[in-house]
């Protein structure tokens, strides 16, 4: 792990990113100033190869940077993670020309790359299917279809749009990713964005109508996004986000208990064995999740996609359970006052519940883990 970088992320979060989080949440707006800070620190290149100016950090460093950022601003951490994973796909599946084009814009101009896979009629966690089609036309493709949960819509430089070549339904053969430039005609934002939490991820729907992408803007052969060992990184990084949110909430709560005195008592509530017990249960839960995440990151480089499916399922599941349990409990321990937006833990409570809904869901992850015990398949997704 690059301890210095993780420490830098922690400091940056405390000093610059966290103070803006409540405002972004309230307005449900893009965390542009935070992205700017991350760019200046070189953190938009976490998954970009060094020859192109990136940091190409190891997975342990990666999840810990995400986790530190999430302690202060979950939406910033999530968008950083989506962007980083999109660049990881480009690194894995792109040509040299594509690398040069996209990575330089990220590193030199601070451009972000979104990743848009979800669609209204489908559930990725049940069957990985996309109905958005790439129809061959001279020089490229026409993209048609509807995406939702389009994170960073209107603010990134490019969007990795998951589509099926020719609209075929056999994902193992037809699934590709088009790197659609932000200014492309044929993209229309639809629907509103007013969610429970993760509000600064700004993820409305997008309708594609004969949106032209150049053939040089499509990655890899059909099916590659499923087999290249990158898709599993989504869940790994989510674990970092959830753990970071919960850690921020727990740190706040522990400090509250250590110092808060209610009349007529003269000792802080942290002297109460029942409060100590709550803190103990939260701490051990979060601690466990962190160890599982770190183990996954540690084994990642040598793991094949099936193993990564298992590792990421373990990490995301444990972080989901711990994240929800901890944030719910923090509010209970701090009491009614903590439901106010003047304390940061109600945002943590909303952010974790929202972020943990991203695919694959808990049922799916438990299935993966359970099957691993019997030597059965541990693929992260079940493609159509």
Residues 351-380 that bind a second copy (CB under 8 A): 353-354, 356-359, 361-363, 365-376
CB of 270 to a second copy, least distance (A): 5
- Contact range with a second copy by CB under 8 A, out of 30-38, 51-59, 179-187, 335-343: 335-343
Encoding tokens for residue 59?
């997975």
- Contact range with a second copy by CB under 8 A, out of 37-45, 102-110, 133-141, 252-260: 252-260
Q: Are 90 and 217 in contact (CB under 8 A)?
A: no
User: Packing angle between helix 233-259 and helix 273-299, nearest 10 degrees?
Assistant: 160
CB of 261 to a second copy, least distance (A): 9
Confirm or reject binding of residue 339 to a second copy (CB under 8 A).
yes
User: What region, left, alpha or beta, does residue 210 occupy, with left being phi > 0 and alpha being psi -120 to 50 degrees?
Assistant: left
Q: Which is nearer to a second copy, 7 or 277 (CB)?
A: 277
What is the pairing mode between strands 175-181 and 205-214?
unpaired
With CA atoms as reference, report the closest residue to 91 among 63, 125, 49.
49
Cα dist from 153 to 38, 181, 216, 379, whole Å: 19, 11, 22, 29
232-251 residues in contact with a second copy (CB under 8 A) are 250
Confirm or reject binding of residue 269 to a second copy (CB under 8 A).
yes
83-142 residues in contact with a second copy (CB under 8 A) are 118, 121-123, 125-127, 129, 131
What count of other Cβ atoms lies within 10 Å of the Cβ of residue 142? 16
Interface residue with a second copy, options 314, 326, 379, 380 (CB under 8 A): 314
Interface residue with a second copy, options 214, 295, 307, 382 (CB under 8 A): 295
CB of 341 to a second copy, least distance (A): 5
Q: What is the DSSP letter of 270?
A: G
Q: Are 344 and 289 in contact (CB under 8 A)?
A: no
Q: Are 333 and 275 in contact (CB under 8 A)?
A: yes
Interface residue with a second copy, options 41, 168, 287, 299 (CB under 8 A): 287
Confirm or reject binding of residue 350 to a second copy (CB under 8 A).
yes
Q: Are 153 and 189 in contact (CB under 8 A)?
A: yes
Interface residue with a second copy, options 15, 100, 210, 281 (CB under 8 A): 281
Please tell me the distance from the alpha carbon of residue 310 to that of residue 130, in angstroms, as a whole number: 23
Q: Are 68 and 6 in contact (CB under 8 A)?
A: yes
Please tell me the distance from the alpha carbon of residue 260 to that of residue 223, in angstroms, as a whole number: 56
- Contact range with a second copy by CB under 8 A, out of 79-87, 152-160, 182-190, 282-290: 282-290
CB of 349 to a second copy, least distance (A): 6
Q: Which is nearer to a second copy, 97 or 342 (CB)?
A: 342
CB of 205 to a second copy, least distance (A): 11
Please tell me the distance from the alpha carbon of residue 86 to that of residue 179, in angstroms, as a whole number: 9
CB of 370 to a second copy, least distance (A): 3
Confirm or reject binding of residue 4 to a second copy (CB under 8 A).
no
Confirm or reject binding of residue 306 to a second copy (CB under 8 A).
no
- Contact range with a second copy by CB under 8 A, out of 154-162, 179-187, 290-298, 301-309: 290-298
DSSP-assigned beta bridge partners for residue 164: 133, 175
Q: What is the size of the binding site for a second copy (CB under 8 A)? A: 85
């Amino acid at each position: 792990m690059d301890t210095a970088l993780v420490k830098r992320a922690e400091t940056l979060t405390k000093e610059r990113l966290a103070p803006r989080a409540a405002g972004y949440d309230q307005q449900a707006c893009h965390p542009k100033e935070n992205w700017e800070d991350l760019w200046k620190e070189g953190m938009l290149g976490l998954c970009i190869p060094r020859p192109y100016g990136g940091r190409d950090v190891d997975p342990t460093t990666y999840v810990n940077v995400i986790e530190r950022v999430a302690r202060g601003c979950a939406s910033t951490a999530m968008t950083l993670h989506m962007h980083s994973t999109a660049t990881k796909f480009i690194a894995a599946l792109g040509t040299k020309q594509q690398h040069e084009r996209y990575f330089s814009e990220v590193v030199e101009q601070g451009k972000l790359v979104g990743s848009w896979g979800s669609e209204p009629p489908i559930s990725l966690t049940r069957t990985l299917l996309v109905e958005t089609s790439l129809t061959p036309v001279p020089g490229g493709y026409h993209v048609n279809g509807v995406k939702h949960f389009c994170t960073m819509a209107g603010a990134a430089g490019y969007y990795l749009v998951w589509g099926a070549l020719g609209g075929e339904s056999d994902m193992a053969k037809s699934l590709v990713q088009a790197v659609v430039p932000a200014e492309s005609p044929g993209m229309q934002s639809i629907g509103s964005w007013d969610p429970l939490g993760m509000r600064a991820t700004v993820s409305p729907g997008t309708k594609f109508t004969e949106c032209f992408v150049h053939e040089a803007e499509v990655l890899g052969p059909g099916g590659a996004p499923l087999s290249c060992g990158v898709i599993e990184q989504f869940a790994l990084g989510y674990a970092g986000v959830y753990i970071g949110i919960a850690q921020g909430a727990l740190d706040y709560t522990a400090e509250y208990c250590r110092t808060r005195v209610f009349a007529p008592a003269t000792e802080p509530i942290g002297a109460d064995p029942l409060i100590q017990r709550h803190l103990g249960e939260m701490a051990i839960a979060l601690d466990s999740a962190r160890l599982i995440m770190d183990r996954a990151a540690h084994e990642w480089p040598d793991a094949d996609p099936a193993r990564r499916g298992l590792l990421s399922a373990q990490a995301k599941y444990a972080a989901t359970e711990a994240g929800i349990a901890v944030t719910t409990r923090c509010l209970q321990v701090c009491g009614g006052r903590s439901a106010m937006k003047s304390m940061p833990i109600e945002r943590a409570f909303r952010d974790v519940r929202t972020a943990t809904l991203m695919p694959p869901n808990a049922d799916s992850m438990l299935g993966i883990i359970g099957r691993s015990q019997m030597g059965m398949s541990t693929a992260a997704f079940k493609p159509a």
